[in-house]
Structure 1
């Protein structure tokens, strides 16, 4: 989710600092995915990682980039979160 936010920043102002932050954010994201895969099965770890990234990107967009807060969007955001938690609970 931080990587997605950094893509937006990089597109607004293309600079070395923004590029370094972008690469660092995605690097940390993949590091956390690999740590999760040492505990969880690959499919569950990847699904939860993807869900966190997608939900986080939506929340960051709503909070910092004035994206829509329509109730349908919030409903499906909650579905992503519930699905990620559900996958973890059944593992």
Structure 2
């Protein structure tokens, strides 16, 4: 259950990052509330996962999901660069997160 919670934490982190961009563009209360809810849920799920998983592993995977997911969402939703080199490094972050799961 801790791994599912950790994945949910990473997905909420991705949502929070998208809401930062939306708040920057729209400047409304709805975006602000969704940003706080997204990051709040992310920390809640991360905290639950860290009751079982080692802190270093949980944090590395959480940030990996958030960072790579945020970059992918930026490409899909906001027209950011889809350069092959960028995709290779995103893949490397995800591969490292999977590797930590395999050895933990």
Fold shared per TM-score above 0.5: yes
Q: Any runs of at least 4 consecutive aligned residues in structure 1 with deviations exceeding 6 A, and if so which?
A: none
* Alignment partner of 2:71 out of 55, 58, 80: 58
Partner of 2:84: 71
How many residues of Structure 1 are paired with residues of Structure 2 in the alignment? 91
> TM-score scaled to structure 2, two decimals?
0.85
Shift of 1:36: 1.5
| Structure 2 stretches lacking a partner, 5+ long | 1-13
Output the aligned Cα RMSD. Answer: 0.7
Deviations 1:54-90 (A, max 9, x none): 0110110010000000000000000000000101111
Partner of 2:54: 41
Q: Which structure: greater helix fraction?
A: 2
Q: Would you say 1:6 and 2:15 are equivalent positions?
A: no
CA distance in 2 between counterparts of 1:58 and 1:39 reads 28
CA distance in 2 between counterparts of 1:32 and 1:68 reads 31
| Structure 1 stretches lacking a partner, 5+ long | none
